[in-house]
């Protein structure tokens, strides 16, 4: 038996030694025992396997343990996101406001560049066989179209009220914005309530209204588009971003960090997929999102029974990256509330985002960029719903020429 194969029969150090010897191509077991191993192993295409990477990951797991390695992967991806998002001021809410007010500016350019970068890297890795998007949570199980639509609309309204999406709030909170910190906590609590608490029956009712038949459709595959089509689409989005950036004289530094936000999504895909190949327990293949991880991190801090995993490492990683970036740029400053009325608005928006994100399957990053980079149908439906609802909410709630800044 050759090649890299994922065993799902335990996670002891001795069993990792089995995996290690197989990576090295050494037959140290009787033929009958190896036949039994073959029958319960899950084969992975050889072109996806990098034996040197597999050996390094197994050694790291031996030294630190699987939970710590998974959390460390989340920290790495989070730091990249935090630094890049703080420097580029990435935020879908700000981009949606620019579109709603017919002023395509720097925020739209940054969002498009982030989205295109995630598309390009993710689709390129899949085309080259480095990762297999078919095993991701977005494409491996049925999706909910009703949840994507309703959740996307609720989330879009919420991000306008809160004046920021969850990723942006986390970045602002790390730089001293008290409004963002409290709004982020409300977002995490409501997300957990929607996942397993008092709001879960409502979420399940909405999500069960319209579910895809079989696994969540991949738009490109359903349309029988040729291999590499995702890369071409990513290039088209990047070209549009650069045109808008040129017209608005957006600095190359800002554009570079905008690319960094999208690149962090690709890093998340690579790390979780690589870990899934060497883990002896099923590991979700995914990337950055802030709805589930916010709830998971909150529960990890409150309960000793909560597992240490990629999602739990992601949130502190983003906070550290954003803090360091703001510190080096001299942008650390304490900011409070504008008044009781604004406080009510921000907290209501955070609550709507928490419920909407869990219902839609992710936030602007989770569904919009991470899910969008896989071309999963429900992810794109959720993204479009967030855009349209956000634009409509801005026109109805905030829009008055020269009065409400895009932050």
CB 82 within 8 A of CB 325: yes
pLDDT at 41: 38
Tell me what percent of the residues of the chain surpass a pLDDT of 90: 72
Q: Name the one residue in this structure whose structure tokens are 């907290």.
A: 347
Lowest model confidence (mean pLDDT) among 205-214, 256-265, 298-307: 298-307
pLDDT at 335: 86
Rounded Cα–Cα distance for residues 356 and 160 (Å): 13
Q: Which of 64, 80, 113 is the last residue of a domain?
A: 64
* End-to-end Cα, the chain, rounded Å: 57
Q: Which of 64, 83, 111 is the last residue of a domain?
A: 64
Q: How confident is the model at residue 54 (pLDDT cuts 50, 70, 90)?
A: low
Taking 50 as the threshold, does the pLDDT of residue 38 lie above it? no
Are 54 and 133 members of one domain? no
Taking 90 as the threshold, does the pLDDT of residue 152 lie above it? yes
Mean pLDDT of 112-129: 97
Q: How confident is the model at residue 51 (pLDDT cuts 50, 70, 90)?
A: low
For 135, which DSSP code?
Answer: G
**Is 262 a member of any domain?**
yes
Mean pLDDT of 253-259: 97
Q: Which of 18, 35, 64 is the last residue of a domain?
A: 64
pLDDT tens figures, 176-197: 999 999 999 999 999 999 999 9
Mean pLDDT of 80-105: 95
For 134, which DSSP code?
Answer: G
Q: Name the one residue in this structure whose structure tokens are 């855009």.
A: 387
Give the chain's mean pLDDT.
Answer: 86
Are 41 and 135 members of one domain? no
pLDDT at 60: 78
Are 160 and 96 members of one domain? yes
Are 137 and 263 members of one domain? yes
Are 289 and 343 members of one domain? yes
pTM: 0.85
Of 38 and 357, the structure prediction assigns the larger pLDDT to: 357
pLDDT at 63: 77
Using CB atoms within 10 Å of the CB of residue 97, give its burial: 0 to 12 exposed, 13 to 18 middle, 19+ buried.
Answer: buried
Are 340 and 217 members of one domain? yes
H or E stretch at 55: helix 51-64
**Residue ranges making up the domain that contains 333:** 65-398
Are 38 and 142 members of one domain? no
Of 54 and 257, the structure prediction assigns the larger pLDDT to: 257
Are 25 and 107 members of one domain? no
Are 54 and 192 members of one domain? no
Taking 80 as the threshold, does the pLDDT of residue 378 lie above it? yes
Are 393 and 245 members of one domain? yes
Of 402 and 301, the structure prediction assigns the larger pLDDT to: 301
Are 137 and 14 members of one domain? no
**Is 359 a member of any domain?**
yes
Are 277 and 339 members of one domain? yes
Mean pLDDT of 277-302: 88
Rounded Cα–Cα distance for residues 246 and 262 (Å): 20
**Is 183 a member of any domain?**
yes
**Is 87 a member of any domain?**
yes
pLDDT at 278: 83
If one counts the domains in the chain, the total is: 2
pLDDT tens figures, 222-240: 999 998 999 999 999 999 9
pLDDT at 391: 97
């Amino acid at each position: 038996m050759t090649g890299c194969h994922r065993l799902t029969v335990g996670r002891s150090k001795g069993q990792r030694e089995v995996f290690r010897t197989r990576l090295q191509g050494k037959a140290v077991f009787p033929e009958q025992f190896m036949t039994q191993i073959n029958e319960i192993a899950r084969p992975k295409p050889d072109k996806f396997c990098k034996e040197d990477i597999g050996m390094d990951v197994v050694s790291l797991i031996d030294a630190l343990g699987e939970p710590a390695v998974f959390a460390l992967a989340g920290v790495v991806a989070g730091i990249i996101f935090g630094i890049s998002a703080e420097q580029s001021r990435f935020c879908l809410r700000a981009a949606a406001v620019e579109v709603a007010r017919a002023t395509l500016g720097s925020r739209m350019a940054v969002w498009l560049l982030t989205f295109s970068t995630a598309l390009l890297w993710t689709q390129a890795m899949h085309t080259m066989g480095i990762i297999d998007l078919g095993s991701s949570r977005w494409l491996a199980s049925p999706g909910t179209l009703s949840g994507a639509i309703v959740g996307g609309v609720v989330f879009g309204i919420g991000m306008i009220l809160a004046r920021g999406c969850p990723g942006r709030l986390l970045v602002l909170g790390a730089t001293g914005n008290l409004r963002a910190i409290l709004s982020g906590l409300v977002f995490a609590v409501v997300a957990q309530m929607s996942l397993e608490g008092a709001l879960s029956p409502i979420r399940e009712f909405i999500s069960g209204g319209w579910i895809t038949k079989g696994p969540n459709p991949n738009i490109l595959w359903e349309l029988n588009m040729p291999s590499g089509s995702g890369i071409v689409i990513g290039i088209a989005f990047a070209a549009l971003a650069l045109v808008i950036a040129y017209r608005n004289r957006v600095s190359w530094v800002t554009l570079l960090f905008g690319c960094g936000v999208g690149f962090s999504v690709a890093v998340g895909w690579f790390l979780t997929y690589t870990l899934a190949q060497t883990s002896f327990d099923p590991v979700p293949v995914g990337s950055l999102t802030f709805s589930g991880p916010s709830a998971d991190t909150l529960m990890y801090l409150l309960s000793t029974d909560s597992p240490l995993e990629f999602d739990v490492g992601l949130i502190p990683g983003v906070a550290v990256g954003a803090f360091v970036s703001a510190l080096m740029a001299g942008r650390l400053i304490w900011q409070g509330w504008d008044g009781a009325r604004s406080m009510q608005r921000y907290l209501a928006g955070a609550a709507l985002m928490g419920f909407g994100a869990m219902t839609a399957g992710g936030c602007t990053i989770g569904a919009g960029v991470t899910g969008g980079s896989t071309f999963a149908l429900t992810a794109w439906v959720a993204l479009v719903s967030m855009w349209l609802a956000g634009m409509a909410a801005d026109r109805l709630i905030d829009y008055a020429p020269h009065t409400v800044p895009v932050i």
